[in-house]
Amino acid sequence: MIILGIHDGHDASASLMIKGKIVAANQEERFSRLKGDYGLPLKAIRCCLKQGNISINNVDEIAVASHTLNPVLLYIKRNANFTVSDWVKEQEEYWYKVFYLKKKKINYYKIFKNRFKKLDKYYDFKNLLNLYNDRDLIKKFKEIRLECISKNLNFPKNKIRFYTHEFCHIYYSYYFYPERKNGIAITSEGIGDFSNGSVGTIKNNEYKLNSYTRKNHLGHIYQYITLLLGMKPNQHEYKTMGLAPYASRYEIDKIYPFLDEVLRIKNLNITFKKKPKDLYFYFKKIFHGARFDGIAGAVQKFIELKLQEWFLNCKKELKLNRFYFSGGVAQNIKAAMFLNNSKNLGKVIVPPAAGDSTLSIGACYHSMHLKNLEKKNKDKLKISPIKNMYLGYKNNPKDIEDYIYKHKLDKKFKIIKNYKPERVAKIISKGMIIGRCCGSMEFGLRALGNRSILADPRKFETIAKINHKIKKRDFWMPFTPSVLFEDRNKFYKNHKNLNAKFMSMAFETTEFGRKNLKAAIHPADFTIRPQTVKREDNKSYYDLIKSFKNITKVGALLNTSLNLHGMPIALNHVDALYILFNSDLDAMVFDKIIVMKKKL
């Protein structure tokens, strides 16, 4: 059984499952170079097929995540194309008129017509751009998507199936890890096919939906407050989360009550306590004159406490104390840490990249789950967990050598061939900052060593250098470490033995961790979002960290994604060398070659 999973909304992606195992997964943004790209992910699909060494004719089914997508937003690639000014424009010229002036038939598309160069080029949008929220048009768009996928991939329509958005999240969170026990599956996000919050149970591999709502606005509140802080919604919520620990209790307590009065827990879900006309203008008025850090701290506290109350309520009513948490809100790692630190809650399991980018994987799992329900016990197919996220495009060393020769890089750079990991470890230990573009690309939000910027985690001054001269990002944002699996307990406290391979969980640090990871933990609250590395998962990266430990006695490296601010993570050697040429990185490490800047 071969299944090709497709997600064509924002953060579009493709995944390939063969005999119940995910063998490839790619995000379209890595190929198009448009962060958060939308639409039919043709380049990602082709890469997945190439990785699996199959043609589209070998595929038994195409599993498409989500029945409903808004054609207007997809056409203009809203989340990918919008600047902060565009988001404000949307609020002022569309939503304000809808909520406050009661104008119901404003042409949303006309507000942004001719604003963007990168528009969707695959789907047929004829007669679909006049209204923003028309359910009949959204239903019609599903038929257009089906037609387009079939035509562009030369694949029969009767072998293309659409799967419910929320359930793709749920089956991804359940099947990702090997430990699959009875528990409560919870989604919380901006919007899915039928909800923005759902609660169900998984018992003996069977899922039952217990409750859902469209009033669970945890994600929207965090999104609009991110915008009010001058940052991009649906991309920069992590910046709000990173800013929150700097706030004093005094500033948080001034703002928190205004958030707390909006939502409440009712039975198995979240609904309004006090419903404002809208969320953006409501909070804009209330927060006028408030400190920016206090706002960030208050909304983080609000998310944590509301989730805790919600999860405890679900535990009480459903008599289960294990949680599978997914959707955009689940990507708030500090909230997940808060939940796992709650004494009365069992394990809260969050898979990596729990938002929409992994819907293509979830669609594959959803498809296999349904097929197994139709089979007798002895005929059921094994559904494999995902051991690592190195599921993407793989470098070809010859391409790199040819590029270096063609562009005569040896005239401008020091070229080191057939190096050993000790050589790279020594470079890092001397305070230099390198990029690493090796092996298969990671899927998801986090760089896990193969498309990473690496540095000495002991040197606090490294933070400023990377932030200002390389990543060009906000000064308050923390970095994270990759640590040897066997040394993990030296650096942080993991009381519930949560999987920390993917930088999707946060923990409190130990005294040793605070001392030796000064540049790779949060400077304000000393929390850590680690990647533990086993040799069996990534031999060359493990050997590099081990070599660094042999020199420094610290089995960890500072690890941040290999990209410039606002750009997707590097795909290949061309992207990696562009970053080297346009930043203060000292070197770029490939599988067999180091390209190093010559000292003046």
Q: Residue 152 maps to which CATH number?
A: 3.30.420.40
Mean pLDDT of the chain: 95
- Identify the pLDDT of residue 315: 98
What percent of the chain clears pLDDT 70, i.e. is strictly above it? 100
HEC string of 428-454?
HHCCCCEEEECCECCCCCCCCCCEEEE
Determine, yes or no, domain membership for 548: yes
Nearest residue to 485 (alpha-carbon basis) of 442, 406, 545: 545
Range of the domain at 41: 2-83+116-168+359-379
Q: How far apart are CA 229 and CA 372, in angstroms?
A: 47
Determine, yes or no, domain membership for 390: no
Q: How far apart are CA 523 and CA 140, in angstroms?
A: 50
Confidence class of residue 568 from pLDDT cuts 50, 70 and 90?
Answer: very high
Confidence class of residue 473 from pLDDT cuts 50, 70 and 90?
Answer: confident
Determine, yes or no, domain membership for 305: yes
pLDDT tens-digit profile of 139-192? 899 999 999 999 999 999 999 999 999 999 999 999 999 999 999 999 999 999
In contact, 335 and 156? CB cutoff 8 Å: no
Retrieve residue 330's tokens: 């689940």
Retrieve residue 160's tokens: 């293309």
Contacts of 158 (CB under 8 A, 6+ apart): none
Quick one: 582 and 502 in the same domain?
yes
Determine, yes or no, domain membership for 392: no
Determine, yes or no, domain membership for 96: no
Quick one: 150 and 59 in the same domain?
yes
CATH (domain of 494): 3.90.870.20
Q: How far apart are CA 450 and CA 402, in angstroms?
A: 21
pLDDT tens-digit profile of 480-503? 999 999 999 999 999 999 999 999
Residue 74 CA from chain centroid, whole number: 19
The alpha carbon dihedral of 188, 191, 196, 201 has a sign of: negative
| Of the listed ranges 216-225, 372-381, 482-491, 504-513, the one predicted with least confidence | 372-381
Q: Which residues pair with 509 in a beta bridge?
A: 492
- Identify the pLDDT of residue 430: 95
Structure pTM? 0.96
Quick one: 429 and 375 in the same domain?
no
Q: How far apart are CA 558 and CA 521, in angstroms?
A: 9
Q: Which residue has the tokens 């029945």?
A: 67
Quick one: 182 and 302 in the same domain?
yes
Confidence class of residue 556 from pLDDT cuts 50, 70 and 90?
Answer: very high
| Of the listed ranges 34-48, 103-117, 162-176, 244-258, the one predicted with least confidence | 103-117
Nearest residue to 62 (alpha-carbon basis) of 191, 161, 205: 161
Say how many C-beta atoms besides its own lie within 10 A of residue 13's C-beta: 32
Say how many C-beta atoms besides its own lie within 10 A of residue 126's C-beta: 7
Contacts of 101 (CB under 8 A, 6+ apart): none
In contact, 340 and 322? CB cutoff 8 Å: no
Q: How far apart are CA 24 and CA 391, in angstroms?
A: 5
Query: Distances in Å between the alpha carbon of 67 and those of 24, 44, 146, 590?
Result: 23, 21, 10, 41
- Identify the pLDDT of residue 419: 97
Quick one: 151 and 214 in the same domain?
no
Quick one: 337 and 368 in the same domain?
no
292 pLDDT higher than 70: yes
Q: How many CA atoms lie within 13 A of 594 on its CB side?
A: 21
Q: How far apart are CA 190 and CA 11, in angstroms?
A: 14
Which residue type occupies 307?
Answer: L
| Of the listed ranges 310-324, 369-383, 446-460, 572-586, the one predicted with least confidence | 369-383
Radius of gyration of the chain, Cα coordinates, nearest whole angstrom: 24
Determine, yes or no, domain membership for 552: yes
Q: How far apart are CA 404 and CA 577, in angstroms?
A: 10
426 pLDDT higher than 90: yes
H/E element, 404: helix 397-406
Retrieve residue 316's tokens: 């009480």
In contact, 556 and 516? CB cutoff 8 Å: yes
Quick one: 164 and 227 in the same domain?
no
Determine, yes or no, domain membership for 525: yes
390 pLDDT higher than 60: yes
What percent of the chain clears pLDDT 90, i.e. is strictly above it? 91
Q: How far apart are CA 538 and CA 438, in angstroms?
A: 10
Q: Which residues pair with 326 in a beta bridge?
A: 187
> If you average pLDDT over residues 566-575, what whole number do you get?
96
Quick one: 373 and 296 in the same domain?
no
Quick one: 306 and 364 in the same domain?
no
Q: Which residue has the tokens 């969707």?
A: 120
**How big is the chain, counted in residues?**
600
> If you average pLDDT over residues 85-114, what whole number do you get?
94
In contact, 538 and 556? CB cutoff 8 Å: no
Confidence class of residue 465 from pLDDT cuts 50, 70 and 90?
Answer: confident
- Please write down the long-range contacts of 271-278, taking CB distance under 8 Å and 24 or more positions apart: 271/213, 271/215, 271/216, 272/215, 272/217, 277/99, 277/100, 278/95, 278/96, 278/99, 278/100
Q: How far apart are CA 330 and CA 352, in angstroms?
A: 10
Which residue type occupies 261?
Answer: E
Q: How far apart are CA 463 and CA 53, in angstroms?
A: 42
* Count of the separate structural domains present in the chain: 3
Determine, yes or no, domain membership for 246: yes
> If you average pLDDT over residues 54-60, what whole number do you get?
98
331 pLDDT higher than 80: yes
| Of the listed ranges 57-61, 287-291, 298-302, the one predicted with least confidence | 287-291
Q: How far apart are CA 455 and CA 83, in angstroms?
A: 31
- Identify the pLDDT of residue 380: 86
- Identify the pLDDT of residue 600: 47
413 pLDDT higher than 80: yes
